[in-house]
Amino acid sequence: MRNRYRFIAVILVVFVGILTTVLSFAEVNERNADSDIQVQNVSVQETNESGTADTTGSAVQAETPADSQNISSGISKSSYMCFIGTSSLLSSQSGIKAFTAKCFNEAAAKAMKKAKEEKEILQPPAAEPEVETAVWPDPSKPMVALTFDDGPYGPVTNRILEKLEQYGGHATFFVVGNRVKTYASSVQRAVQAGCQIGNHTYDHKNPLTKLSTVQIQKQIHDTDVAVAYYAGSAPVIVRPVGGAVNDTVKSAVGKPIVNWSIDTLDWKSKNAASVTSKVLDHVQDGDIVLMHDLYKSTADACDTIIPELTKRGYQLVTVSELAQAKGVSMKNGEIYRYLRTQAG
């Protein structure tokens, strides 16, 4: 009776060994052309003296062709080993179950581990964390707002813009409304360069202090329209003609009023060296510098001023950038001559 059981067990084990080996080789071929793998439960049934026992191989799922090959070859090798190993274990049939399970489990675990490692190697490296762009202007460093009135005037405005572009600086151009159409390309270039366009009345004929509220509003409005049409948006700051302000002007302009702390008198001297020293000898953090982009001498002065201020560590900013960096919230009708960090 015992020999009969042994004979049945031998037949079964040999049969299962052959079957699993054949299936595994077939599976390798099949999986080579397939990106998914599912090694389904492999059941081994064995009858021994104590009755019927089930051994179920673990199910393995992998996602890539590389994984599937590794796992398939792992399973096929294990099946072969099982087949060979059974002959030496037949004398202790109770070990068959443990041995078979061990073969499958170890092989599957090994294959999964290898596949996991290779998958990790194959994965592209994690993207570099985005480097935060430096804040500009840096509030901890000095800055100055160069401003140019009475333009635009292509031959001079463009030279100043060229120098600003070269040094990555910004400036503010308080334009006269009726000149905007003629030099629209200069206005557009200024905007492109990160510069600000301010409102300097439409025809620059009279100081605003000599006009009525309606006349003041028309001067501001018409310039807003011209700038918005050619540059994309209306100015948010005003510089009155000659900086002249009274209560009527303050209430009529409807925007913050920007005057200056350094007057280069470039219109008077028309001398580049004089303009240059007016700026470089007096400049301090938060200054607003008055110039006019009408004179060749002013453009010549800027060829020195812009590089020198940059070299000294000044950030060349627009008026609005200066206000923001200094934490100043500009109010309509208020006059600003400089913008420095508020005390307290």
By C-beta, is 149 or 321 nearer to Zn ion? 149
Nearest position to Zn ion, beta carbon: 149
Q: Which is nearer to Zn ion, 151 or 169 (CB)?
A: 151
Closest by CA to 163, choosing from 291, 270, 273, 301, is: 301
Helix (H/G/I), strand (E/B), else coil: 237: coil
Q: How far is residue 170's CA from residue 157's CA, in Å, rounded to a whole number?
A: 13
Q: How far is the CB of 294 from Zn ion (least distance, A)?
A: 9
| Residues paired with 335 in a beta bridge | 257
Please say whether the beta carbons of 223 and 152 come within 8 A: no
Q: Which is nearer to Zn ion, 46 or 150 (CB)?
A: 150
Helix, coil or strand: residue 98? helix
Cα distances from 93 to residues 4, 52, 55, in angstroms, run 13, 12, 14
* Shortest Å, Cβ 247 to Zn ion: 21
Q: How far is the CB of 292 from Zn ion (least distance, A)?
A: 7
* Count of residues in contact with Zn ion, rule CB under 5 A: 2
Whether 292 is catalytic is yes
CB of 136 to Zn ion, least distance (A): 29
224 binds Zn ion (CB under 5 A): no
Contact pattern from residue 133 through residue 162 relative to Zn ion, giving x for each residue in contact according to CB under 5 A and a dash for the rest? ----------------xx------------
Best CA proximity match to 27, nearest among 84, 111, 109, 119: 111
Q: Which of 149, 150, 224, 293 is catalytic?
A: 149
Give CA–CA dist 204/217, Å, rounded: 13
Catalytic residue at 200?
Answer: no
Task: Determine which one of 67, 287, 292, 293 is catalytic.
Answer: 292
Catalytic residue positions, numbered? 149, 292
Enumerate binding residues for Zn ion (CB under 5 A). 149-150
